[in-house]
Structure 1
Amino acid sequence: MSSVLVTGGAGFTGRHIVNELADAGHQTVSYNRDFIEAPRPDVVSVQGELFDIPRLLEVFKAHDVDTIVHTAAISHPTYSLSFPLATFAANVEGTVAVFEAARLHGVKRIINFSSECVYGKTSAPVVLESEPVNPMTPYAVTKVTGEWLGQVYGDRYGIDVISLRIGQVYGPGNRMDEVMRDIMRGVVRDGSFSQDHGADHRYNLVYVRDVALAILAAVQAPETASARPLAYNISGTEYWTLSDVVKEVRIAFPDATVEIGPGTDPTLDLQGHFSIASAAADLGYESAWPLQRALGDYADWLSTHDF
């Protein structure tokens, strides 16, 4: 088993990843800028900054870390339009520091969080990893940069860097603006949700527990003699319009009233259906959380949690 450090291990996706890794028997270290109580006895919680290479090296040595899952970031494209400098500091300088500490310690593998945002708007009906990147926000530019840094650290320093372009994540613990969160909170709390636009927008939705499964697959994937691709797409299997999603919500919650007006979401890129064939072939990733299963799980969570 690996000794895995998760940056941002107390964050939205990070907490699910930490639990998945620990459940699989990996020694798991959650690394966060604020002190956070360990979520369970078999997880170590450590406080530290991304930029603090001496601290990172201290933690790597203390826990014999051989694998890093790098999730910590300023993670909202719209926010990055207002705060580009802060976004670049966290997402580029912070990533370089983590990669450099990994190189100095001799870490074998880094799982690097990228994003669907690197593609920008796409015209292809199916989006392969070979699709040209077209970042439309400062956040997206930082994610492209992280992918290329990963390739350089792989080619030059021999670290096995696996970057994952993750679709639109939804599920327990999400505090950021996101339409699935808003729909589900409305349905669970008030029995209703309405929005005047967006029914025709298509989404590469991925439930957060599927993201954790993708990370586990990447951590456990066998070594390869050939070069890794720049990144892998990670998503669920479905490619839904928001109107399609609402139909499924009405099936799951027949007493709820959900109304969405026509059109697309002007704050999001229009993209084709993400192919996850490469992640399946190389990493062994399989989505286990189709929408109907995820809706029930998410509703159970929201019945006892604010987010």
Structure 2
Amino acid sequence: MQILVTGGAGFIGGHLAESFVADGHDVVVFDSFDAYYHRGIKDHTVERCRAVAAESEGSYTLRRGDIREREDVRAAFDAAAPDVVYHQAAQAGVRISVEQPTHPNAVNVGGTLTVLDAARETGVDRVVIASSSSVYGKTHYLPYDEDHPQEPVSPYGVTKLAGDHYARVYDDLYDLSTVCLRYFTVYGPRMRPNMAISNFTSRCLNDEPPVIYGNGAQTRDFTYVDDVVAANRTLLTSDAADGMVLNVGSGDTIDITELAETVRDLVNPDLGIEHRERIAGDAEHTQADVSRARDVIGYEPTTPIREGVERFVEWYRANREWYEPLVVASREGGS
């Protein structure tokens, strides 16, 4: 199949591209290489995908461009002639959305519209959109099912909810098949370095205590990237979820204090825990009800959080030489 992955040099998009190429598909990756975190991590992802392509019957093509620019997007669509589009490109991060709310709006809302319009005009079979658990925001009950009230507590969450609504409208109004997958805090190899698990691991390996923002009682549903890839892969050929939103999470939870202690105990049990002021816009709790995804696409998460954290720490150790400098540079604002 012909597949276009926006944001395909990033964390989740890179894992999708690698998986599709390994299966022999022709993949075009479209990415802006934004300096939100160190671009060297994306370079490693591209190198990995090219290496996989060289050993498979698939092909891998990288195109640089901005999803906000119509000409860039159309050029990517023309190059890919895609059957299916995986729209993973976004300005991620609650913190940056609180500090600069107009920027993620331009990328996540305006960019998604640009992608949907190009898909409508070129007649692709399906657009799969990366949504987020941040659309739920205020907790009325747990776990979140897809009908839970959607009251985002950050501008980032608002932008992802807007994308969900635009996808629904394009599916209804223009007969463009769309599916929105609401990811719950995805982690794993080559993950964004400004997230809790990578930060905790980096600090502990350097004999620094993990830093918790707030009291640590916040709970999260963390999803291992392999489970996210598995959910997306089913949508290459299945139309069962067209027009729907589906939660993609582990269904499990861990509080941030236990998460920090788990990483610390794996790396350096002698360290303490450091607390700093809570970040505005952070959700208090998340937990996914994945029963709809299970029923519709056969989704079944396979990696419990504590097992996944151990696997990530092992991967980090094995890749520390190249990954850690980029984590530290990203933490300190370098690119």
Report TM bin, short chain. Answer: 0.7 to 0.9
Shift of 1:264: 7.7
The alpha-carbon distance between structure 1 residues 43 and 239, as it changes in their structure 2 partners (threshold 3 A), is same
Where 1:29 maps in the other structure, the secondary structure is: strand
Given that 2:27 and 2:80 are in contact with CA atoms closer than 8 Å, whether structure 1 keeps it comes out as no
The alpha-carbon distance between structure 1 residues 86 and 263, as it changes in their structure 2 partners (threshold 3 A), is closer
- 1:52 counterpart = 2:60: no
Shift of 1:218: 2.9
Given that 1:200 and 1:263 are in contact with CA atoms closer than 8 Å, whether structure 2 keeps it comes out as no
- 1:223 counterpart = 2:222: no
Aligned partner of 2:18 in structure 1 is 19
Matches within 5 A, 1:3-82: 3-34=2-33, 39-40=49-50, 41=53, 42-82=59-99
Shift of 1:250: 5.7
The alpha-carbon distance between structure 1 residues 255 and 140, as it changes in their structure 2 partners (threshold 3 A), is closer
Unaligned runs of 5+ in 2: 34-41, 54-58, 328-335
Shift of 1:181: 1.9
Aligned partner of 1:129 in structure 2 is 146
Shift of 1:191: 7.2
Aligned partner of 2:303 in structure 1 is 289
In 2, Cα distance between equivalents of 1:96 and 1:17: 22
Shift of 1:51: 3.0
The alpha-carbon distance between structure 1 residues 262 and 64, as it changes in their structure 2 partners (threshold 3 A), is closer
Percent of aligned pairs sharing the same letter:
25
Aligned CA-pair RMSD: 2.7
Aligned partner of 1:242 in structure 2 is 256
Given that 2:127 and 2:179 are in contact with CA atoms closer than 8 Å, whether structure 1 keeps it comes out as yes
Given that 1:153 and 1:159 are in contact with CA atoms closer than 8 Å, whether structure 2 keeps it comes out as yes
In 2, Cα distance between equivalents of 1:289 and 1:24: 22
Amino acid of the structure 2 residue aligned with 1:228: G
Amino acid of the structure 2 residue aligned with 1:32: D
Deviations 1:177-212 (A, max 9, x none): 322222121233337535474332111111233222
In 2, Cα distance between equivalents of 1:87 and 1:247: 32
Shift of 1:131: 0.6
Where 2:8 maps in the other structure, the secondary structure is: coil
Structure 1-normalised TM-score? Answer: 0.87
Where 2:24 maps in the other structure, the secondary structure is: coil
In 2, Cα distance between equivalents of 1:43 and 1:188: 35
Matches within 5 A, 1:202-217: 202-217=219-234
Amino acid of the structure 2 residue aligned with 1:113: A
Given that 1:6 and 1:30 are in contact with CA atoms closer than 8 Å, whether structure 2 keeps it comes out as yes
Shift of 1:265: 6.7
Given that 2:98 and 2:280 are in contact with CA atoms closer than 8 Å, whether structure 1 keeps it comes out as no
Shift of 1:122: 0.6
Given that 2:249 and 2:287 are in contact with CA atoms closer than 8 Å, whether structure 1 keeps it comes out as no
- Size of the aligned set, in residue pairs, is 303
The alpha-carbon distance between structure 1 residues 284 and 251, as it changes in their structure 2 partners (threshold 3 A), is farther
More displaced 10-residue stretch of structure 1: 61-70 or 34-43:
34-43
In 2, Cα distance between equivalents of 1:21 and 1:256: 42
Structure 2-normalised TM-score? Answer: 0.80
Matches within 5 A, 1:150-161: 150-161=167-178
Where 2:15 maps in the other structure, the secondary structure is: helix
Unaligned runs of 5+ in 1: none
In 2, Cα distance between equivalents of 1:65 and 1:227: 17
Shift of 1:44: 1.3
The alpha-carbon distance between structure 1 residues 266 and 67, as it changes in their structure 2 partners (threshold 3 A), is same
Shift of 1:25: 3.0
Where 1:257 maps in the other structure, the secondary structure is: coil
More displaced 10-residue stretch of structure 1: 202-211 or 30-39:
30-39
